[in-house]
Amino acid sequence: MSDPTMAAEGVPAGQTGDYITAAEHATGTKEKTRSLWSDAWHDLTRRPLFVISMAVIAFLVVVAIFPSWFAEENPRLRDLDRARIGPNVPYLATVLAIIGSGITVIAAILATVGKLRDGVSRKMAPYVAGIGGVLLLAGGLINSVTLYLVIGALVFACGVVSGVPKVSRLLRGNAGTWGVVALLAVAGGAGLFIALDDLSTVEVGAAFGYDQQGRDIYARVVYGTRYTLLVGFSATLLTVLIGSLVGILSGYFGGWLDSLLSRIGEVFFGLPFVLGAIVILSAFRSAGFDSAPAIVAMVVMSISVLSWPVSMRIMRSAVIAAKQQDYVKAARALGASSARIIFRHLLPNCLAPVLVYATIALGAFIGAEATLSFLGIGLRDPAVSWGVMIADSRDYIRASPLLLIFPASFLTLTVLVFVTIGDAVREALDPKLK
Amino acid sequence: MGRYVIRRLLQLIPVFIGTTFLVYVLVWALPGDPFAGMCKSTCPPEFRQAMIEKYNLDENIFVQYFTYLGNLLQGDFGTTYSDREVGELIEAAAPVSITLAAIAVGFEALIGVTAGILTGLRRGSFIDNLVLVSTLVVIAFPVFVIAFVVQLVLGSWLDIIDLTVSSDPSFTELLAPGFVLGSLSMAYVARLTRTSIAENRRADFVRTAVAKGLPQRRVVGVHLLRNSMIPVITFLGTDLGSLMGGAIVTEGIFGINGVGGLVYSSILSKEGTVVTGVVVLLVIVFLITNLIIDLLYAVLDPRIRYE
Amino acid sequence: MRRPRWMAAVALVPIVALTLTACGGDDGAGEAADSKITVSGTAPENPLVPGNTSEAGGGKIVEVLYSGLMRYDSDTGEPVPEHAEKVDVSEDGKKITYTLKKGWKFHDGTEIKAEHYVKAWNYTAYTPNAQQHSSFFVGVKGYEDVTSEDPDGDGPKKAPTPKKKEMSGVKALDDYTLQVEFDKPMPAFQYKVGYSAFMPLPDAFFENKEAFEKKPIGSGPFKFVKQTANSIVLERFEDYQGPKKPSIKTVEFRFGTPEADYDAVRDNNLDFLNNMPPKALVDNVWQQDLKGRSGPSGNLSIQELSFPLYDPKFKDPNLRKAISMAIDRQQISDKIYGGSRTPVKGYGVPNLPLWEDGACGELCEHNPEKAKELFDKTDWGNKPIEITSNADGGHKEWIEAVCGQIEDALGVECKFVPVQEFGVIREMVNNREMTQIYRAGWGADYPHVENFLNPIFRTGASSNDNGYSNPKVDAKLAEADATVDDEEAARLYHEAEELIAQDMPVIPLWSNPYIAGWSERLENVKVDKLTGELDLLSVRIKSED
């Protein structure tokens, strides 16, 4: 996604778009659900896609913090002799099969738990089985391992059978369900056993091959996670912080302050995103930042500076709506200070829409970083992100498309996961969509 | 209505000045030699002096900016280092960018709205889920990856399109780049339409229409669609503006000599007048489209009246 | 580095696109009267004034937009008379008299006379006009009077106004006779005079420079039509009376990125590209994509790494030798450039006449053990070695690779430090403010090894940017310069190279040939050996049947 300001469009109508006009200051009424948060959480944890996405993110965060756990090879080690050597397919296939089988076992466990105690795990099991099956199939396909293909197909079929309502009706009753569970467990176990056995026969390492400089792509992808996520999280945090602060001030105090802040917001909003970021980054480029934190800070800054007006608008309309509520009036009547009202009453109640925006924006910002890096003005050595890897690979797309495909698929997957979460959070928090 | 328009126009002025000033400062007042891009070896001092005078660089930034703005209001966009009229440059680059943006918006409207209507009317169906998931995937792809995929598949493998367009690209040549450019927004349009239709289906006016015994076709076609299209049109309108300048990546990959490419190369070569000139125009386009869309609201939605 | 382009057109390699047309139509000029071709280019940095156009983007346009006394022939590479009817060299060689052909016209219809040359040359030479080609008149009598040195380089102080505005050595004897006098014999002037620095300018230029810069009026085979944001369009000048007239009617120079231009040539949307972008060199895909319509055009340029010798940390020659021996040139050529670069072990390039490779000897051979040994003798310690360059232009890949090899051999971190703009680096180099090893390239003005040595390695020479100075080298070069016998001179230059290599102020890497590609529409394509540009006077469009 190249233009994160567009993320605003994912936010429910009425919370974005145009400013609420002065008239609405006076009449804003919004029903307040007392248990919004717990309600939403309850709702979210029952969405399999949300839970799976969260698990993926948790995993990515661990990778970002401790990359050396996942890759032994030094990502910076260059060796032209192995430049653009393709992936180690047998190894990659085996690893995919191991992961797929492991996930299948997890699916079996989830299905068991789901059968015994009704909960989200029951809904998740088919999805997890599906993922496990796809991984096994992928492993089997790239290296033509028939066993993996068979097991993968079986697992995937289990996922489909138990997941699609019309089909799963066939399995009504205990026997059918337990049958599927048993099948998953056996398939997963067998897959694990075979794949681990295969692992001892294949050469280990370089799962994704080497790039144009002879660096290990897998290691670079692993180490690239850090900067990719760092930019995404910091840019989101900064954007939301600036935006919320300005939004609260202008929503709560109104009047000339509101006009002023709104106009300032419009000034930044008026700059097309990519264009603005290029101008900002190239303007500061000559200033000679070349340490990794400085480069990251520059990119984060430029993203936030151009995106905060969106979260400001959202916060502002939420505050305008909330400040008409009785509890705010009551607090004011009791003589609470503005600061107390803002922090104790308004902030907790207006956070929801901003949070929705933040989760969607996170994915968008990760995409934006990649776009900027692709244009050659985002991150760069030593701050290597997936975007930088993609940018480096552009000359080799025809000769070695895998140089692009590996980082691009991780990038896409990560953005997808964040956007999925954003989508789920939005639906959970937006009463209108229930 | 008239008063509202005037008030909005007045509000545009500070925003316009603010944005253009911001860009002006970023381009001209930051550290670094503004002529570095021009003299590949060092500039002769006489030349440097002449340039400083030409662009008023010895004045303070406010004087510089307002001199520039003054010229701008008289239609003078200034000249580049090599003495080309910036106005002419923009004039030459604009048509192809406008065509491209229009094609992109066309795709958005066509595919996005269709998908949105289909899914909005049948929430929870297979198509609904399919569209939802595929829009998520499209949103997750950075635009340059989509562009490369299109180039690789349609250009290199299937040989349907040329990898890049010719110097004076025809409408058909711009279809593929336009599709790439519009792909992201297409996903948003689909989702926006879907949400909007889903919301309006439960609205009172639709229930009334159904209760009146109007045929389904009429309920959907006249009552539901017309009202659901308001946010979609807003989005398409603003998108048209932002796509004109936001096509830097797409234009670069497909070798289109449009506004995006012009401004990108100007930023790299530090051609300050071109950068500010283009940004000023884009800001004007952006502000005006926003205004028009606000007014359009009133036309489309009888509940909104501006006084 | 700078790519001076005088004698740019010397020694064109004719790469003739052999074509099989049904009727073998050779005289396409008539049918193809409305023919138009598009050529890749870059936007000129300055208005198209010949005396001020030194970069390639404007240079290739100026070359056909203007005419001069001589023009470099595309077949032989020799300068042949263009506007000059007769050339008389005085016996002592200090005076050359050119007789001009009558009836030649500028594009505005005014006749070209001797005084147009005199005025143009004086304008170009005069320091306050700040024309980049001023130094081409060095040696012309009176040149010192019209030039002055800036006391503090590029600093705030202005150069003093020169004594005179005109060189005493350039005179129009009458409308059609031009006489040039020199301080000492200058046989090379006859070669140089075909270069754009010596083109005449019409009266219109001196009357209204601004109007001229917007719409230049030349005298060459093509006249200026228009300049748009991304292109410059020229059209055949029908009154051009040179020995060779172009067959094509219109030329459009399109300014795009090399990547997009490559795709466009492949798809026949663009007719000519002078050099392949990096992506086309990967696995030599250009050979398949542009089969039968591409080829290396040769190029007298060398890629080098230069040490800022004024920075004390690079004082130790062992360090410089160690880095040189850490680099595996062949591997980089193979892996990064698809084998298209030719590693050199000396300071010249293989296609130089009489030049022999190998002056650098084992110092330019990949030898990690020896490199490490030498490196351990230095007091460099554990500091990272940094190499800087502009990041664009495809330099990132090979410098990264060089760094990888250095790390591998020397066991010390090596970093590529990209700088966004070439100009910034140039400025730091010129001001002697570099603190890192930097990329240096040299494009020769003419095919002679002297041009690879004298300007770079002589004490205080014009392009001696890193402050190298060795009296022995200076003496050897002077001796070689004064030697009449070519073979003997070549031997002396080789000895000078050997002396330089022992100091290793600059690491020679490889020569950089260009590879040109063109569309299927063109035939009779000839490509310049030095600039890699298309010969617009020869190229034709295939007749279509």
A:356-375 residues touching chain B, CB 8 A cutoff:
363, 367, 370-371, 374-375
Strand partners, C438: C306, C388
CA-CA distance, A275 to B262, in Å (whole number)?
A: 11
Decide: B274 and B262 in contact? Cβ < 8 Å: yes
- What mean pLDDT comes out for the span A156-163? 84
Tokens of C178: 């031009």
Tokens of C54: 């030194």
Among the partner residues B11, B231, B249, nearest to A375 by beta-carbon distance: B249
Q: Is the dihedral angle over the CA atoms A243, A246, A248, A252 positive or is it negative?
A: negative
B44 touches chain C (CB under 8 A): yes
Tokens of C296: 């290396």
**Confidence check: pLDDT of A433 > 60:** no
Give the closest-approach CA distance of C220 to chain A in angstroms: 39
Among the partner residues B145, B156, B192, nearest to A408 by beta-carbon distance: B145
**Confidence check: pLDDT of C3 > 50:** no
Per-position b or e across C104-117, b if 16+ CB within 10 A of its CB: bebbeeeebbbebb
CB contact under 8 A, A272 and B242: yes
CA-CA distance, B112 to B117, in Å (whole number)?
A: 9
Ranked by mean pLDDT, the top range of A27-36, A70-79, B293-302, C174-183 is C174-183
pLDDT band at C223 (very low <50, low <70, confident <90, very high): very high
3-state secondary structure of C245: coil
Tell me the backbone φ, ψ of residue C177, rounded to 5 degrees.
-130, 125
C-alpha to C-alpha distances, C89 to A128, B265, C72, C98, C181, nearest whole angstrom:
91, 49, 19, 9, 10
- What mean pLDDT comes out for the span C520-535? 83
Give the residue from A11, A19, A99, A12 showing the smallest Cα distance to A269.
A19
**Confidence check: pLDDT of C18 > 60:** no
CB contact under 8 A, A287 and B32: yes
Strand partners, C79: C72
Strand (E) or helix (H) holding C39 = strand C36-41
Among the partner residues C335, C397, C416, nearest to A381 by beta-carbon distance: C416
Residue-wise pLDDT for B57-95, tens only, equals: 777 788 888 888 888 888 788 877 766 778 888 888 888
In this structure, the dihedral spanned by the alpha carbons of residues C102, C103, C108 and C114, taken in order and rounded to 10 degrees, is: 10
- Note the Cα A199 to chain centre separation in Å: 31
Q: Give the A:C interface size as CB pairs under 8 Å.
A: 60
pLDDT band at C159 (very low <50, low <70, confident <90, very high): low
Q: Supply the mean pLDDT for chain C.
A: 83
**Confidence check: pLDDT of A434 > 70:** no
CB contact under 8 A, B11 and A263: yes
pLDDT band at A97 (very low <50, low <70, confident <90, very high): very high
CB contact under 8 A, A399 and C421: no
Q: Give the B:C interface size as CB pairs under 8 Å.
A: 113
Tokens 């180490």 found at: A223
CB contact under 8 A, C229 and B166: no
Quote the pLDDT of residue B29.
Answer: 67
Q: For B28, which residue in chain A has the nearest alpha carbon?
A: A283
Tokens of C445: 């003005």
CB contact under 8 A, B33 and C427: yes
Q: Which of C2, C40, C42, C45 to mutate to probe the B interface, most B CBs <10 Å? A: C45
CA-CA distance, A197 to A194, in Å (whole number)?
A: 5
CA-CA distance, B271 to B256, in Å (whole number)?
A: 20
C-alpha to C-alpha distances, A415 to A4, A230, A409, A430, B141, nearest whole angstrom:
12, 14, 10, 22, 8
B18 touches chain A (CB under 8 A): yes
In this structure, of A59-73, A229-243, B111-125, C513-527, the range with the lowest mean pLDDT score is B111-125
Strand (E) or helix (H) holding C36 = strand C36-41
Give the closest-approach CA distance of B48 to chain C in angstroms: 10
Quote the pLDDT of residue C325.
Answer: 95
Decide: C142 and C100 in contact? Cβ < 8 Å: no
How many other CB atoms are there within 10 angstroms of residue A249's CB atom? 20
Quote the pLDDT of residue C206.
Answer: 92
CB contact under 8 A, B140 and A401: no
**Confidence check: pLDDT of C24 > 50:** no
User: In A256-350, which ranges are E strands?
Assistant: none
CB contact under 8 A, C263 and B162: yes
Residue-wise pLDDT for B241-296, tens only, equals: 778 766 888 888 888 888 888 888 787 777 778 888 888 888 888 888 878 887 77
Decide: C222 and C536 in contact? Cβ < 8 Å: yes
B14 touches chain A (CB under 8 A): yes
Quote the pLDDT of residue C273.
Answer: 92
CB contact under 8 A, A79 and C283: no
CA-CA distance, A430 to B18, in Å (whole number)?
A: 35
Give the residue from B242, B238, B208, B248 showing the smallest Cα distance to B224.
B208
Quote the pLDDT of residue C202.
Answer: 94
> Using a CB-CB distance cutoff of 8 angstroms, which residues of chain B are in contact with residue A413?
140
Quote the pLDDT of residue C99.
Answer: 93
In this structure, of B174-188, C101-115, C148-162, the range with the lowest mean pLDDT score is C148-162
B66 touches chain A (CB under 8 A): no
Peptide linkage before A382 cis (omega within 30 of 0): yes
> Using a CB-CB distance cutoff of 8 angstroms, which residues of chain B are in contact with residue A2?
142-144, 184, 246, 249
Residue-wise pLDDT for A200-238, tens only, equals: 888 888 889 998 888 999 999 999 999 999 999 999 999
A:36-65 residues touching chain B, CB 8 A cutoff:
none
Strand partners, C540: C523
Q: Where are the domains of chain B?
A: 86-300
Q: Which 8-state DSSP code applies to residue C70? A: E
Strand partners, C72: C79
How many other CB atoms are there within 10 angstroms of residue C376's CB atom? 12
Among the partner residues A212, A286, A399, nearest to C397 by beta-carbon distance: A212
A395 touches chain B (CB under 8 A): no
- What mean pLDDT comes out for the span A155-164? 83
Residue-wise pLDDT for C41-75, tens only, equals: 887 877 889 988 877 778 889 989 999 998 877 66
Q: For C155, which residue in chain B has the nearest alpha carbon?
A: B45
Quote the pLDDT of residue C14.
Answer: 35
Quote the pLDDT of residue B304.
Answer: 62
Decide: C283 and A399 in contact? Cβ < 8 Å: yes
pLDDT band at A288 (very low <50, low <70, confident <90, very high): low
CB contact under 8 A, C400 and A78: yes
A275 touches chain B (CB under 8 A): yes
CA-CA distance, A151 to C107, in Å (whole number)?
A: 79
CA-CA distance, C168 to B32, in Å (whole number)?
A: 42
**DSSP character string of A140-178:** HHHHT-HHHHHHHHHHHHHHHHHHSHHHHGGG-SHHHHH
pLDDT band at C151 (very low <50, low <70, confident <90, very high): low
Quote the pLDDT of residue A7.
Answer: 46
Ranked by mean pLDDT, the top range of A39-48, B201-210, C405-414 is C405-414
3-state secondary structure of C170: strand
pLDDT band at A353 (very low <50, low <70, confident <90, very high): confident
**Confidence check: pLDDT of A24 > 70:** no
**Confidence check: pLDDT of B235 > 70:** yes
Q: Supply the mean pLDDT for chain A.
A: 83
CATH (residue range B86-300): 1.10.3720.10
